[in-house]
């Protein structure tokens, strides 16, 4: 449809029909009874029945048959024939499930993320979806928060790269969104990752400078990549819940970032303005949200129940309603729904696309690349001829898909035990509680093997939304099992299946090797086996620090400098330190081992001076000194030595993943220009300052200090 036709359509719409476009209801409201009769609008639907007939979008339902039936039924009832939009959370895959986003981050391969999101998009669109609520671009620093699993970690630059890659993968890179792609909705705008104490839905309060410096880059990158929608956050930003926050939504998002797409609230967030205490009732909540710039109300029903009368009473400017509706119509039009409300969907295509062999193959590859080898004392890779005891609550557990795998199929997911049929198996313990008989059985099995592979972790029931934890250790029963394994004197390999950084202080001393496997997806078990036996050499690197204790949280690599930095090795008191644990996390950002060994040498800089119009090149030679081929992520960090405001101790500014054969050396170079040195000053201006900078290139954020390079930036 042409823009004029959309505007004509808008003119024909009643207020109620307009309000309908701004409401999103759960798929269950549109379902049919078992006998096939439609229950549209008649099952515990807490709004006037006919509201469903004019509604604009549907949440969380997919599958050719269901979507087709709902859309058909809707078009039949809709006076103006406006098709429904189907939206859902396709976060790390639709039916073929990839690792959770925190694991995807550990690949340090944005192009791979784009590829798998294109697969997710193809599967989702074949099943009738039009929009995914991804990427979640929230920067995270607190592993108590269950939703860190949905983020790619603690670094603004990496998050930027992954957010953009996700959008490109979901939407495709062409001008229009083709039928095998879907729209991307970046969330949660803004700064949801900072919920105080890691408690979900909790307050966020941060300076505008910090918001712009650390949190905005990833949302912005998603918008620059063309994301069609933005979802508001549950939390407050500068004292106002995001879903009623005009400076944030109309000021920053629309005026400053020029976002022209659709803003949707998070689930019930409009109504929650009442609980937040910034609206007296649901009607005021609806009024404030629309005025603040929320176009679609996801599931709170506040718009459905209040907007019409607010317009009638002139409490809302009708033009606000019109502009929001037009944006929704434009999105439908961009997705081609007016021409074909089914977007070429067919049952044969759905069957051919879902879980296609090449998708599963990619899922395995990505899972292998997401795994992070945290420790290895000459035990991995496993030798084929050694007998293995496969023990632990994750050893025969198909809970590998992660919390957002709503369309995945856990029943059909192979477990480690399935993939290691020759190993001796014992469960050893339930996930969270001790069972004496299981433990005794495991002792027996472990006694008979040469090497013990423990599969430990925490399930999807302890991660994701509304799953904050005050303590992030493994359950005591699992630690007990680990200690028993260690007591056998046999090599112990711990494979970890979890969706947040765990405090591994009680694990590390008892394990000879630790492989962080995350919730690795549909082909996760096969991927673990491939890595354990060295078919694939692990190359993942953490994108979120693993703390030594819950009390150390938040701990992240790009912290601001303090006035009393602790000198290395100092035992003295009056420094910024803990008296009971080191300041450093147990495993830092950027860290991850390989079966190969890499040495960094000959770090060099093309010149020691930089000015606004020049660039300089830093280079390093990386050599594989081992007998196996491997991949290494070479990371570039810069420190601004003196800033107008306090600057981080270091910041990631570039990275490159390279493959190296045994004895091979490659030179990795990075270009540095003045734009990379910009930051937000106290007056919020974004600029670089003259002065001295330090540069590191290494395989982790904990860098060899002797490798430090320096240069001076001159502004004139
Ligand atoms: C609530 C979550 O916060 C959000 O991330 C998700 O997209 C919506 N529910 C829809 O499922």
- pLDDT of 35 higher than 90: no
Q: Which residues are catalytic?
A: 266
Chain mean position to CA 566: 33
In the reported structure, the alpha carbon of residue 335 is separated from the centroid of ligand 1 by a whole-number distance in angstroms of 22
User: How would you label 295-324 residue by residue, b for 16+ Cβ within 10 Å and e otherwise?
Assistant: bbbbbbbbbbbbbbebbeeeebeeebbeeb
In the reported structure, the alpha carbon of residue 265 is separated from the centroid of ligand 1 by a whole-number distance in angstroms of 9
Residues 6+ apart with CB under 8 A from 314: none
Residue nearest to atom 7 of ligand 1 (CA): 133
Residues 6+ apart with CB under 8 A from 672: 610, 615, 616, 617, 618, 638, 653, 695, 711
- pLDDT of 379 higher than 50: yes
* Predicted local confidence at residue 681, as pLDDT: 98
Measured from the CA of 185, which atom of ligand 1 is nearest?
7
Closest CA to 110 of 167, 150, 177: 167
Site to probe by mutation for ligand 1, drawn from 230, 231, 271 as the one with most ligand atoms within 8 Å of Cβ, is 231
Its pTM stands at: 0.97
Evaluate whether 91 touches 67 at the Cβ level (below 8 Å). no
Quote the CA–CA distance of 41 and 417 in Å, as a whole number: 46
**CB 295 less than 6 A from any atom of ligand 1:** no
**CB 266 less than 6 A from any atom of ligand 1:** yes
Range 294-307 average pLDDT: 95
In the reported structure, the alpha carbon of residue 272 is separated from the centroid of ligand 1 by a whole-number distance in angstroms of 14
In the reported structure, the alpha carbon of residue 141 is separated from the centroid of ligand 1 by a whole-number distance in angstroms of 20
- Hey, what domains does the chain have and what are their CATH numbers? 3-350 (3.20.20.300), 357-552 (3.40.50.1700), 598-715 (2.60.40.10)
**CB 268 less than 6 A from any atom of ligand 1:** no
- pLDDT of 34 higher than 70: no
Instruction: Read off the pLDDT band of 48 (50, 70, 90).
Output: confident
Quote the CA–CA distance of 644 and 689 in Å, as a whole number: 8
- pLDDT of 43 higher than 50: no
Q: Tens digits of per-residue pLDDT, 396-428?
A: 999 999 999 999 999 999 999 999 999 999 999
Helices 318-334 + 3-12 axis angle, to 10? 130
In the reported structure, the alpha carbon of residue 269 is separated from the centroid of ligand 1 by a whole-number distance in angstroms of 10
* Predicted local confidence at residue 41, as pLDDT: 42
* End-to-end alpha carbon distance in the chain: 53
Residue nearest to atom 1 of ligand 1 (CA): 267
Q: Tens digits of per-residue pLDDT, 653-678?
A: 999 999 999 999 999 999 999 999 99
- What is the phi/psi pair of residue 105, to 5°? -55, -40
Range 46-58 average pLDDT: 86
Quote the CA–CA distance of 62 and 126 in Å, as a whole number: 9
**CB 213 less than 6 A from any atom of ligand 1:** no
Quote the CA–CA distance of 479 and 493 in Å, as a whole number: 13
Closest CA to 370 of 521, 243, 478: 521
Q: What is the mean pLDDT of the chain?
A: 96
**CB 272 less than 6 A from any atom of ligand 1:** no
- pLDDT of 40 higher than 80: no
Residue nearest to atom 3 of ligand 1 (CA): 266
Closest CA to 696 of 637, 617, 643: 637
Quote the CA–CA distance of 150 and 463 in Å, as a whole number: 10
Quote the CA–CA distance of 206 and 235 in Å, as a whole number: 12
* Predicted local confidence at residue 32, as pLDDT: 63
Q: Who wins on pLDDT, 706 or 485?
A: 485
**CB 465 less than 6 A from any atom of ligand 1:** yes
In the reported structure, the alpha carbon of residue 334 is separated from the centroid of ligand 1 by a whole-number distance in angstroms of 23
Measured from the CA of 150, which atom of ligand 1 is nearest?
5
* Predicted local confidence at residue 30, as pLDDT: 84
- What is the phi/psi pair of residue 114, to 5°? -60, -40
In the reported structure, the alpha carbon of residue 266 is separated from the centroid of ligand 1 by a whole-number distance in angstroms of 6
Evaluate whether 504 touches 374 at the Cβ level (below 8 Å). yes
* Predicted local confidence at residue 28, as pLDDT: 83
**What DSSP element (H or E) covers 657?**
strand 651-660
Residue nearest to atom 11 of ligand 1 (CA): 89
- pLDDT of 51 higher than 90: no
Closest CA to 479 of 438, 514, 507: 507
Measured from the CA of 188, which atom of ligand 1 is nearest?
5
Measured from the CA of 234, which atom of ligand 1 is nearest?
3
Q: From its phi and psi, is residue 343 left (phi > 0), alpha (psi between -120 and 50) or beta?
A: left
* Predicted local confidence at residue 37, as pLDDT: 58
* Predicted local confidence at residue 402, as pLDDT: 97
In the reported structure, the alpha carbon of residue 232 is separated from the centroid of ligand 1 by a whole-number distance in angstroms of 10
Site to probe by mutation for ligand 1, drawn from 267, 406, 464, 468 as the one with most ligand atoms within 8 Å of Cβ, is 267
Residues 6+ apart with CB under 8 A from 317: none
Range 39-46 average pLDDT: 52
* Predicted local confidence at residue 84, as pLDDT: 98
Site to probe by mutation for ligand 1, drawn from 229, 266, 268 as the one with most ligand atoms within 8 Å of Cβ, is 266
* Predicted local confidence at residue 33, as pLDDT: 54
Evaluate whether 151 touches 109 at the Cβ level (below 8 Å). no
| Cα-based distances in Å from 685 to 88, 247, 393, 677 | 38, 18, 52, 13
Evaluate whether 396 touches 416 at the Cβ level (below 8 Å). yes
Q: Tens digits of per-residue pLDDT, 136-193?
A: 999 999 999 999 999 999 999 999 999 999 999 999 999 999 999 999 999 999 999 9
Site to probe by mutation for ligand 1, drawn from 186, 187, 235 as the one with most ligand atoms within 8 Å of Cβ, is 187
In the reported structure, the alpha carbon of residue 51 is separated from the centroid of ligand 1 by a whole-number distance in angstroms of 23
Cis, peptide link before residue 554, omega less than 30° from 0: yes
In the reported structure, the alpha carbon of residue 176 is separated from the centroid of ligand 1 by a whole-number distance in angstroms of 26
Site to probe by mutation for ligand 1, drawn from 60, 133, 195 as the one with most ligand atoms within 8 Å of Cβ, is 133
Quote the CA–CA distance of 34 and 670 in Å, as a whole number: 61
In the reported structure, the alpha carbon of residue 90 is separated from the centroid of ligand 1 by a whole-number distance in angstroms of 11
Strand partners for 26: 59
Residue nearest to atom 4 of ligand 1 (CA): 266
**CB 133 less than 6 A from any atom of ligand 1:** yes
**CB 267 less than 6 A from any atom of ligand 1:** yes
- pLDDT of 556 higher than 90: yes
Residue nearest to atom 9 of ligand 1 (CA): 267
Q: Who wins on pLDDT, 28 or 472?
A: 472
Range 253-279 average pLDDT: 98
**CB 187 less than 6 A from any atom of ligand 1:** yes
| pLDDT over 90 percentage in the chain | 94
* Joined tokens for residue 152: 């790619």
């Amino acid at each position: 449809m042409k823009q004029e036709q959309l505007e004509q359509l808008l003119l024909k719409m009643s207020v109620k029909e307009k309000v309908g476009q701004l409401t999103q209801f759960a798929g269950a409201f549109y379902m049919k009874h078992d006998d096939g009769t439609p229950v549209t609008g008649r099952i515990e639907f807490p709004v006037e029945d006919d509201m469903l007939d004019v509604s604009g979008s549907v949440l969380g339902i997919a599958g050719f048959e269901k979507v087709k039936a709902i859309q058909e039924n809707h078009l039949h009832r809709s006076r103006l024939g406006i098709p429904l939009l189907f939206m859902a959370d396709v976060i790390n895959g639709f039916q073929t499930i990839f690792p959770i986003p925190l694991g995807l981050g550990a690949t340090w391969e944005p192009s791979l993320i784009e590829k798998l999101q294109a697969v997710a998009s193809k599967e989702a669109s074949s099943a009738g979806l039009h929009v995914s609520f991804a990427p979640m671009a929230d920067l995270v620093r607190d592993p108590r928060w269950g939703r860190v699993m949905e983020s790619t970690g603690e670094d603004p630059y990496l998050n930027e790269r992954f957010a953009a890659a996700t959008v490109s993968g979901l939407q495709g890179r062409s001008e229009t969104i083709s039928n095998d792609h879907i729209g991307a909705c970046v969330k949660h705008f803004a700064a949801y990752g900072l919920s105080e104490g890691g408690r979900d839905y909790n307050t966020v309060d941060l300076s505008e400078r910090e918001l712009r410096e650390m949190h905005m880059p990833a949302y912005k990158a998603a918008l620059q990549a063309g994301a069609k929608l933005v979802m508001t956050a549950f939390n407050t930003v500068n004292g106002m819940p995001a879903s009623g926050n005009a400076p944030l939504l109309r000021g920053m998002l629309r005026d400053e970032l020029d976002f022209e797409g659709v803003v949707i609230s998070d689930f019930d967030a409009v109504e929650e303005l009442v609980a937040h205490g910034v609206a007296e009732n649901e009607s005021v909540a609806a009024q404030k949200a629309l005025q603040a710039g929320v176009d679609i109300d996801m599931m709170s029903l506040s718009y459905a129940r209040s907007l019409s009368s607010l317009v009638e009473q002139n409490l809302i400017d009708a033009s606000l309603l019109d502009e929001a509706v037009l944006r929704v119509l434009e999105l439908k039009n961009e997705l081609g729904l007016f021409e074909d409300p089914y977007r070429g969907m067919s049952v044969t295509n759905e069957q051919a696309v879902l879980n296609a062999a090449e998708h599963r193959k990619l899922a395995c590859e990505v899972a292998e690349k997401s795994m992070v080898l945290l420790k290895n004392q000459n035990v991995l890779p496993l030798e084929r001829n050694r007998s293995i005891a496969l023990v632990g609550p994750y050893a025969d557990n198909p809970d590998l898909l992660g919390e957002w795998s709503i369309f995945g199929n856990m029943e059909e997911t192979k477990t480690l035990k399935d993939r290691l049929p020759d190993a001796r198996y014992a469960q050893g313990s339930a996930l969270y509680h001790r069972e004496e008989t299981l433990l005794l059985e495991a002792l027996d099995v472990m006694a008979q093997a040469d090497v013990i592979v423990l599969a430990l972790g925490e399930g999807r029931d302890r991660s994701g939304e509304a799953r904050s934890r005050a303590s992030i250790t493994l359950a005591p029963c699992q630690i007990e099992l680990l200690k028993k394994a260690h007591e056998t004197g046999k090599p112990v390999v711990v494979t970890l299946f979890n969706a947040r950084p765990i405090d591994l202080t009680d694990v590390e001393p008892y394990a000879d090797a630790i492989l962080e496997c995350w919730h690795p997806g549909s082909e996760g078990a096969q991927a673990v086996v491939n890595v354990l036996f060295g078919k694939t050499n692990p190359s993942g690197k953490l994108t979120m620090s693993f703390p030594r204790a819950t009390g150390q949280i938040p701990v992240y690599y790009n912290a601001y400098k303090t006035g009393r930095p602790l000198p290395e090795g100092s035992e003295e008191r009056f420094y910024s330190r803990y008296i009971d644990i080191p300041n450093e996390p147990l495993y830092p950002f950027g860290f991850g081992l390989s079966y190969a060994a890499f040495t960094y040498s000959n770090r060099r800089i093309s010149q020691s001076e930089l000015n606004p119009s020049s660039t300089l090149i830093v280079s390093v030679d990386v050599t594989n000194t081992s007998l196996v081929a491997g991949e290494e992520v070479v990371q570039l960090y810069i420190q601004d030595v003196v800033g107008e405001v306090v600057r981080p101790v270091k910041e990631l500014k570039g990275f490159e993943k390279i493959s190296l054969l045994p004895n091979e050396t490659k030179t990795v170079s990075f270009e540095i220009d003045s734009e990379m040195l910009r930051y937000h000053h106290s007056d919020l201006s974004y600029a670089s300052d003259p002065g001295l900078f330090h540069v590191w290139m290494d395989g982790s954020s904990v860098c060899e200090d002797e490798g430090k390079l320096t240069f001076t930036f001159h502004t004139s």
